[in-house]
Structure 1
């Protein structure tokens, strides 16, 4: 069954993801420890297991 007319996609667009990442970066720069931790987690998840340098 198709989604209802006018409904948004469940998956965010690349532009939306970039916007969310920028908001996360801004919050981390302002001292939000949870945002900084999430940026670290995202950074580690993007790297292959052998390239994490102990993290």
Structure 2
């Protein structure tokens, strides 16, 4: 999977915030939130195969 995607989205959102593009900034923060929650759900629902 592309593990750099949340970091790239956060960078783009921060840059658009600094540049004053509020519409793009809100959209990128929303996409970042959705990607983060989606990957969290993907990783949380997988069972761990631990043997002690």
Fold match (TM-score > 0.5): no
| Higher gyration radius (CA) | 1
The structure richer in helix per residue is 2
Say which structure, 1 or 2, has more relative contact order (CA 8 Å, 6+ apart): 2
